[in-house]
Amino acid sequence: MTMLPEPSAIKLGLVIDLDICVGCQACVVNCKEWNTAGYGAPLADVDAYGGSPNGAWLNRVHAYEAGSGAEARTVHFPKSCLHCEDAPCVTVCPTGASYKRAEDGIVLVNEDWCIGCGLCAWSCPYGARELDPAEGVMKKCTLCVDRIYNDNLPEEDRQPACVRTCPTNARHFGDLGDPNSEVSLMVAARGGVDLMPEQDTRPVNKYLPPRPRRVADDAPMSLVSMVEADSPGGFWKWVDTTLDRLG
Partner 1 sequence: MRPAWSLIFFTTMSGLGLGLAGWIVIGLLPLMTVSSLIGVAVLTLFLIGAGLLSSTFHLGHPERAWRALSQWRSSWLSREGVLAVIVMAGLAGWFAAGYLGMIVPLWANIALLVLIYATVYATSMIYASLKTVARWYHPLTPACYLMFAAAGGLLASLALLSLLGLPITAALAQAALVLMLSAWGVKFAWWRVAGMARNQGSIESATGLVGMGAVRPLMPPHTEENYLQHEMGFVVARKHADKLRMIAIGLGGVVPVLVLLMAPASASALAFGLIAHVAGMFVERWLFFAEARHVVTLYYEGAA
For residue 151, the minimal CB distance to partner 1 (Å) is: 33
Among 210, 228, 231, 236, binds partner 1 (CB under 8 A): 210
- Applying the rule CB under 8 A, the residues between 73 and 132 that interact with partner 1 are 73-75, 77, 79, 88, 90-97, 113-119, 121-127, 130-132
Reduce the DSSP state of residue 142 to 3 states and report it: coil
- Applying the rule CB under 8 A, the residues between 38 and 67 that interact with partner 1 are 52-54, 56-57, 60-67
Among 19, 146, 178, 194, binds partner 1 (CB under 8 A): 194
For residue 76, the minimal CB distance to partner 1 (Å) is: 9
Q: What are phi and psi of 236, to 5 degrees?
A: -65, -30
For residue 82, the minimal CB distance to partner 1 (Å) is: 11
* Residues contacting partner 1: total by CB under 8 A: 69
- Applying the rule CB under 8 A, the residues between 141 and 170 that interact with partner 1 are none
Contact between 82 and 203 under an 8 Å Cβ cutoff? The reply is yes
Between CA 222 and CA 234 the distance in angstroms is: 18
Percent of the chain that is helix, strand, coil (3-state, to 5): 25, 15, 55
Of 198, 214, 215, 197, the C-alpha closest to 206 is 197
DSSP code for 84: -
Looking at the Cβ atoms of 38 and 125, the one nearer to partner 1 is 125
For residue 229, the minimal CB distance to partner 1 (Å) is: 35
Looking at the Cβ atoms of 56 and 161, the one nearer to partner 1 is 56
Contact between 16 and 60 under an 8 Å Cβ cutoff? The reply is no
For residue 189, the minimal CB distance to partner 1 (Å) is: 16
Contact between 148 and 175 under an 8 Å Cβ cutoff? The reply is no
**Radius of gyration, alpha carbons of the chain:** 24
Contact between 203 and 83 under an 8 Å Cβ cutoff? The reply is yes
Looking at the Cβ atoms of 7 and 118, the one nearer to partner 1 is 118
- Angle ∠(176,30,111) on CA atoms, nearest 5: 75
Q: Which residue ranges make up the site for partner 1 (CB under 8 A)?
A: 1-4, 18, 23, 28, 52-54, 56-57, 60-68, 71-75, 77, 79, 88, 90-97, 113-119, 121-127, 130-133, 135-137, 193-200, 207, 209-210
